[in-house]
Structure 1
């Protein structure tokens, strides 16, 4: 499944280096297509502060 900018997605697996667990919800803020498809996803806390801004492959995200 391909996502669009500003889509809300969930993390498919833990990302220990980012302190994120599978199921964490984030927003796609950018999409890269070259050299291959990837998503820049922002994860925030309940107050809207950024917890992580990371680039993920399509396999690392799923619909929220």
Structure 2
């Protein structure tokens, strides 16, 4: 079984990834290539982070 601490850390890391990817997109000069690749990755990281956080909240001891 996954420990609750690992779910919390995973949610934090995925949330940070979801924030860092748009920041990279703002700095990058060649936006045409980056937009097509990083936007779905950022949205997926955000959705997965929310799922992991919900799993942490409803974790049964």
Report the TM-score range of the alignment, normalised by the length of the smaller protein. under 0.3
Structure with more relative contact order (C-alpha pairs < 8 Å, separation 6 or more): 2
Provide TM-score, normalisation by structure 1.
0.24
Larger Rg belongs to: 2
